Structure 1
Amino acid sequence: MTATPGTPAKRSYPHPPSTVRIRGGSSALRDTLTLMTLPVLAALALPAAFAGGGTRRWFGGRAESQRAEAQAAKDAAAAAFYELDTAQRDLRISIETITAVDDSPAARRAATDFETLGRRIDEVSQRYIQAVDAHDLDRDDLEAAAASRARSELTSAKDELIRVRQDLDRFGGSLGPLLGKAETQLARLAPAVERARQALLGASNALDSVREKGLRADDLAGRLAALSPELTKLNQGAGQHGVQQTVERAERVQREAGAIRAEAERLPQKAAEIDHRLVSLRTRAQALTTRAGQVDPVLSELRRRFAAACWQDLQQVPEQAARDVRQAELKLREAQAARDAQHWPDATSLLSTVRALLNTTDEAVSAAGDRLTRLNAVQKDPQAEIERTRFAIRDAQRLAMSGRTTPDPRHARPLDDAVGRLERAIGTLEAGRHPDYWHFLSETEAVRQMAALVVARIREERGGPLSGGSRP
């Protein structure tokens, strides 16, 4: 059969259905149509018979529309519930990250706020589940009113879920600084632990190298052994001891192990330095013994030529010098024994004591010779000392008057006192056959110091050094 353009082609049957023609008018035609339509109705009924295990009653368009809207509300609520649950799980990971690292009040407050939000989430989730359980949208006899009520309750549950989700998102956004800090700490954890382990290994290797050179380094070995419990805690991990504590422990172990390694690597050099100091201080002690023996002639000349006040404080120098040198030699022997036993801290401490004793002796022995030299100079030409002191006073006076018509009393008064003190010191040189030259030198030195203090005060008040003045 040919189809007319624009109209669908009629389906052809190889064997058209047979009809029973019954004479008798319209009733016979109805019977014929009934026989033809039975197979079509049966075919339409089959899908309904197998859908849902039974047949669904037909209640009309409004009931089905309400059912569809209720189902849509149920699907939307389910999606909101899933999104809220996912967001809560993600945020719980963030909270656990923060609390594992941070024990600050802000971190504890964040954990408490999350627990409060969790209780709200449980409440709205429970209402959602109750709404779902309360309405069977697949019932065949679901009425329009029941479907409408289900839609309303499910929509309300969805809205509550969305509101809580929004609160949860805002709370999560506020955790940014805390979470960033916690993630930074976590990022530091593994590298810090690894650096600590490498530092311990480096310290151990350095000690082995030192021992191969015949140096025991027992104190360094003891310090390294003391770090063993710390290494055990590092191996136990942050899960048992906390992230922050583990990072701090790793950094502390790294520092201590690094210090041990550095000292071990420097130990051969330290041993060589101690050997050199032993030789040097022993030589110096011998030289001071010789010099101390020269103090008595110096004192004899001082007694012969100058007043007692010029040398009385030096009377004990020879005896004290000899005693200090003997003490230094004793400490040197103890230092040598400590070095032979490789007790490096003891050897270093003893050598410091020897050096202090020899310094004191050197100063005392030198003081006698210096005293005689200065007394000889002032006895020969006291005017040089006087002019030197007057120059210091005049220099301070010029600075005090710089830019002023009258000096500041705070500066003028001590300078006037200095002038008077110098004049009195000069007067002592004219009293008697044996002037107290040492007192005179002490006074002129004190006057110059007084002038120097005034200069320093003026410069400080005026904001720094000024041109036009010489150093007193």
Structure 2
Amino acid sequence: MTATPAHQPYSSPSVSYARAVRDTFALMGLPLVVALALPAVFAGGGTRRWFGGRADSQRAEAQAAKDAAAAAFYELDTAQRDLRISVETIHAVDDSPAARRAVDDFEALGRRIDEVSRRYIAAVDAHDLDRDDLEASAAVRARTELTGAKDELERVKRELDRFGEGLGPLLGKAETQLARLAPAVERARQALLAATRALDAVRESGLRADDLAARLAALSPELTRLNQGAGQHGVAPTLERAERVAREAETIRAEAERLPERAAEIDHRLVSLRTRAQALTTRAEQVQPILSELRRRFTVACWQDLQGVPELAAENVRQAEAKLAEARAARDGQRWADATALLSTVRALLNATDEAVSAAGDRLARLNAVQKDPQQEIERTRFAIRDAQRLAMAGRTTPDPRHARPLDDAVARLERAVASLEGGRHPDYWHFLTETEAVRQSVAGVVALIREERGHGAH
């Protein structure tokens, strides 16, 4: 019913007569119902003759139908105008399928409104109720057509009202986004300002923070787009951009504020890891005597896998020291990410060296203990088996074969391991230790299975 600017894709075609009537009397400050009655006031210069009887009665009823249709037309026009604001709000903010469908539905309703409006205007134009010689039959036809036009206008108005009620969730979502827009943009600006100040403070302390400065500079085009506003870039993209800029700026600010602490932490790690590398060099020198004792007292199988430890330790320490030098250079160049990565490599090398060096000493200690008293290892393993057997029999008269079979296998495996210590001049104590450890692991697996099954049964 009302014209919409060309850039709005869902505008309805204008109805020239209705717009002319509305705009004219809007300027005059008169309601539409009065406006539609004005031609009757001016017709004939106020000298129209009035005839009594049935014709005037029908004329009055037709005029009442015309006034009612005019009121229905005005109400429909007002409702469409109000609803167009809601649809435009949704269209500006929401690009979801539901929102696009709502815009399309409003366009369809607009076309329907144009149709019934044209029929209403045609009915008004077709009947001059101010004619002196208006016949009763013509007044009846006018009343019928105008009443039909009013009914159509009211019917479309009800459709429009139902459509408006269905827009509630979409409109609420759109209004929420609009309410979030200004605060989100302001948060982004404040976050950028805070990041800039934190970066300036870091630079004043003598730290360059070039990577942080580059990341902050990369946000400058985004700030320009935020300043251009949602009118140019859309509400949803602007809101998303504002939230992203705020997050990234906050990250830069936090990293800038932590940079002095990070530099101090890297300095501490450089000293600590260098000290550890030196200590490992000393410890690695003790591996050779340990290997010599292992070779002298135990079979080859007990120490063969440790033969390469001295060379491995020396190589790892050499690499660690080279990486430490690189890390120091990165720290001096304030390449913080590179320094951190290099220190992590140094730590991994020293951890591997520590494990290898410790393995030789631990091997000798364990072999000494089992050679002196193998019974302790045997009893430890038997206890684990008996404990699992008791658990398997709890609440049962016979064990579940799935539990009993691996436990029986564990008993047999332990017996074979014990037997391997007897009758030989140089028993393979390392094989014995690895077998008992494997038996305990197998038993632990059975225990875990039993507890899992019973836990499920309890539920």
- TM-score for both structures, normalised by structure 1: 0.85
Of 372-381 and 216-225, deviating more is 216-225
CA contact (8 A) 1:338 1:347 kept: yes
Amino acid at match of 1:104: S
1:396 counterpart = 2:388 = yes
Q: What's the offset of the Cα at 1:204?
A: 1.1
Q: For the residues of structure 2 that align with 1:175 and 1:197, how far apart are their CA atoms? A: 33
Q: What's the offset of the Cα at 1:284?
A: 0.3
Amino acid at match of 1:345: A
The residue aligned with 1:139 is: 131
Q: For the residues of structure 1 that align with 2:80 and 2:45, how far apart are their CA atoms? A: 39
Amino acid at match of 1:95: V
User: 3-state DSSP class of the match of 1:404?
Assistant: coil
CA contact (8 A) 1:338 1:344 kept: yes
| Structure 2 counterparts to residues 311-350 of structure 1, below 5 A | 311-350=303-342
Q: For the residues of structure 2 that align with 1:249 and 1:426, how far apart are their CA atoms? A: 72
Pairing partner for 1:451 from 433, 443, 452: 443
Pairing partner for 1:381 from 350, 357, 373: 373
Of 180-189 and 328-337, deviating more is 180-189
The residue aligned with 1:62 is: 54
Amino acid at match of 2:52: G
Amino acid at match of 1:182: A
| Structure 2 counterparts to residues 229-378 of structure 1, below 5 A | 229-378=221-370
Amino acid at match of 2:249: A
The residue aligned with 1:426 is: 418
Q: For the residues of structure 2 that align with 1:349 and 1:179, how far apart are their CA atoms? A: 51
Amino acid at match of 1:342: Q
Using the aligned pairs only, state the percent identity: 84
1:91 counterpart = 2:115 = no
Of 59-68 and 219-228, deviating more is 59-68
CA contact (8 A) 1:307 1:435 kept: yes
| Structure 2 counterparts to residues 102-117 of structure 1, below 5 A | 102-117=94-109
Q: For the residues of structure 2 that align with 1:440 and 1:296, how far apart are their CA atoms? A: 24
* Structure 2 gap ranges (5+): 1-41
1:209 counterpart = 2:193 = no
The residue aligned with 1:463 is: 455
User: 3-state DSSP class of the match of 1:451?
Assistant: helix
Q: For the residues of structure 2 that align with 1:373 and 1:115, how far apart are their CA atoms? A: 88
Q: For the residues of structure 2 that align with 1:54 and 1:273, how far apart are their CA atoms? A: 100
Q: For the residues of structure 2 that align with 1:306 and 1:395, how far apart are their CA atoms? A: 33
Question: What do residues 395-427 of structure 1 show as CA deviations (whole Å, max 9, x unaligned)?
Answer: 111111111111111111111111111111111
Pairing partner for 2:214 from 222, 231, 235: 222
Q: What's the offset of the Cα at 1:56?
A: 2.0
User: 3-state DSSP class of the match of 2:292?
Assistant: helix
Seen in structure 2, the aligned counterparts of structure 1 residues 51 and 311 have a Cα distance that, compared at 3 Å, is closer
Q: What's the offset of the Cα at 1:465?
A: 13
Q: What's the offset of the Cα at 1:102?
A: 2.0
Q: For the residues of structure 2 that align with 1:84 and 1:54, how far apart are their CA atoms? A: 32
Seen in structure 2, the aligned counterparts of structure 1 residues 109 and 51 have a Cα distance that, compared at 3 Å, is closer
The residue aligned with 1:19 is: none
Q: What's the offset of the Cα at 1:88?
A: 0.8
Question: What do residues 157-196 of structure 1 show as CA deviations (whole Å, max 9, x unaligned)?
Answer: 1111001000111111111222222222222222212111
Pairing partner for 2:143 from 146, 151, 158: 151
User: 3-state DSSP class of the match of 2:310?
Assistant: helix
Q: For the residues of structure 1 that align with 2:214 and 2:434, how far apart are their CA atoms? A: 56
Question: What do residues 199-227 of structure 1 show as CA deviations (whole Å, max 9, x unaligned)?
Answer: 11111111111111111111111111111
Q: For the residues of structure 1 that align with 2:126 and 2:181, how far apart are their CA atoms? A: 51
* Structure 1 gap ranges (5+): 1-49, 467-472
CA RMSD of aligned residues (A): 1.8
Aligned residues: 417
Of 382-391 and 131-140, deviating more is 131-140
CA contact (8 A) 1:57 1:141 kept: no
Q: For the residues of structure 2 that align with 1:228 and 1:70, how far apart are their CA atoms? A: 69
Q: For the residues of structure 2 that align with 1:431 and 1:136, how far apart are their CA atoms? A: 132
Of 109-118 and 132-141, deviating more is 132-141
Larger radius of gyration: 1
- TM-score for both structures, normalised by structure 2: 0.88
